[in-house]
Copies of this chain bind each other. A is one copy, B any other.
Amino acid sequence: MKLATIHDGSRDGQLAVVARDLKSAHMADAIAPTLQAALDDWTFIAPQLDSLYAQLNRGEARRAFEFEPQRCMAPLPRASQWAEGAAWLHHLELLRRAQPAPSSTPSTPSSARFLDALREEPLLAQGAGDAFLGPHDDILLAHEEWGIDFGAGIAAIVDDVPMGATPDEAHGRIRLLMLVNSVSLRQLMPAELTRGFGFLQSKPATGCSPVAVTPDELGEAWRGGKVHLPLRATWNGHLAGQPDAGADMDFNFPQLIAHLCKSRRAGAGSIVGAGTVSNRDTTKGKAPPGHACIAERRALETLADGAPATPYMRFGDSIRIEMLDEAGKPVFGAIEQTVRKA
């Protein structure tokens, strides 16, 4: 099923069930007031939501209304945990290769050694869950000079996951999937990486797709803990990339979640992102996968020409992120955000 959170002036919004074709919706307040409330008691609540979803898809729901993504908040406008991985090592590898030599960045170990270590276990960072943005919310920032970059990715929303869960156990605790625009302030990142405490100022609020969907909505595209569909990122109307989210993913969602839960449990409604989707270009001249963020393109330019040519986002720039199924239908609706000066 597909679920959305409709803006009603409150901080957590109201839960709605959205039809498979994203054309109509129905408030779910008679079942659960918010998505967090549904996740808090998923075994009891989900079958009721599912029944409403079936009615809605048959055109039999009593008070259906037209679904407008503009009215959506993030599916979980605030979450008690937001941890984001870097599951496509190709992304890190590209950015790393284009970095200045180690002498000028004393905190970074050599690339080869660093990447070898990353292959052994996933890399995840804790983020702030207090302010997820809706699919049409502006990206408000004070300075273009911070190096504003979009980052198209996928995130899983989990049920309670016990401490020490195996990847298999974690797999069974994934309740919903959604798209995210994980914005990075690239010019603030090197200093934060040097300080070793992870990202803080360099990771502002994250945008989310209009709906979150249960994994079964993806059919055969959800297998092996990965989403095997292209993720399209369109920057100012031009396709920036459409990498396959099922390809080149070095750690799947269950592995990321199990890594997170090695020394602590995760509470229901924790969100685990997999990072920027990134494919190796093996197309040999046919439509290349392109890039789900600007930093990768700049890294390739740096490797080719010694310096990046593509600027980061400017005030007024727009970014659209969506994923179409094999029939060409959008699964999650589209994130459509514009960068504005705060």
CA distance A87 to B273 in the complex (A): 29
Stretch binding the partner chain, chosen from A16-24, A120-128, A276-284, A326-334: A120-128
CA distance A141 to B263 in the complex (A): 6
Q: Which residues on the B side are within 8 Å of A200 (C-beta)?
A: 83, 124-126, 259-260
Copies of this chain, whole number = 2
Q: Which residues on the B side are within 8 Å of A114 (C-beta)?
A: 195
Within the complex, the shortest CB–CB distance from A169 to chain B, in Å, comes to 15
Contact check, A201 vs B126: say whether CB atoms are below 8 A apart. Answer: no
Q: How many residues of A are in contact with the other chain, CB < 8 A?
A: 58
Q: Which of A66-89 contact B (CB under 8 A)?
A: 78-81, 83, 86
Q: Tell me, yes or no, whether A188 is within 8 Å of chain B by CB.
A: yes
Q: Tell me, yes or no, whether A101 is within 8 Å of chain B by CB.
A: no
Contact check, B197 vs A123: say whether CB atoms are below 8 A apart. Answer: yes
Q: Which residues on the B side are within 8 Å of A110 (C-beta)?
A: 106
Contact check, B128 vs A81: say whether CB atoms are below 8 A apart. Answer: yes
Within the complex, the shortest CB–CB distance from A86 to chain B, in Å, comes to 8
Q: Which residues on the B side are within 8 Å of A185 (C-beta)?
A: 263
Q: Which residues on the B side are within 8 Å of A108 (C-beta)?
A: 107, 196
Contact check, B265 vs A131: say whether CB atoms are below 8 A apart. Answer: yes
Residue of B nearest to A262 (CB): B201
Contact check, A123 vs B195: say whether CB atoms are below 8 A apart. Answer: yes
Q: Tell me, yes or no, whether A239 is within 8 Å of chain B by CB.
A: no
Contact check, B267 vs A197: say whether CB atoms are below 8 A apart. Answer: no
> How does the 8 Å CB contact mask read for A140-155 relative to B, with 1 for contact and 0 for none?
1110001000000000
Q: Tell me, yes or no, whether A119 is within 8 Å of chain B by CB.
A: no
Q: Tell me, yes or no, whether A264 is within 8 Å of chain B by CB.
A: yes
Q: Tell me, yes or no, whether A317 is within 8 Å of chain B by CB.
A: no
Q: Which residues on the B side are within 8 Å of A124 (C-beta)?
A: 197, 200
Q: Which residues on the B side are within 8 Å of A197 (C-beta)?
A: 86, 123-125, 198-199
Contact check, A264 vs B109: say whether CB atoms are below 8 A apart. Answer: no
Q: Which residues on the B side are within 8 Å of A223 (C-beta)?
A: none
CA distance A200 to B11 in the complex (A): 28
Q: Which residues on the B side are within 8 Å of A204 (C-beta)?
A: 263-264
Q: Which of A162-205 contact B (CB under 8 A)?
A: 163-164, 185, 188, 193-202, 204-205
CA distance A271 to B194 in the complex (A): 24
Q: Can you sample 14 A-B contacts with CB below 8 Å? A: A79-B80, A80-B80, A80-B128, A106-B110, A107-B107, A107-B109, A108-B196, A117-B194, A131-B267, A142-B164, A197-B199, A198-B198, A201-B259, A205-B265
Kindly list 10 other residue pairs between chains A and B, CB separation below 8 angstroms, not including A80-B128, A126-B199, A198-B198: A106-B109, A107-B109, A117-B195, A128-B266, A128-B270, A129-B129, A130-B267, A131-B267, A164-B342, A201-B262
- Chain A contact residues, CB within 8 Å of chain B: 11, 40, 78-81, 83, 86, 106-110, 113-114, 117-118, 123-131, 140-142, 146, 163-164, 185, 188, 193-202, 204-205, 259-260, 262-270, 342
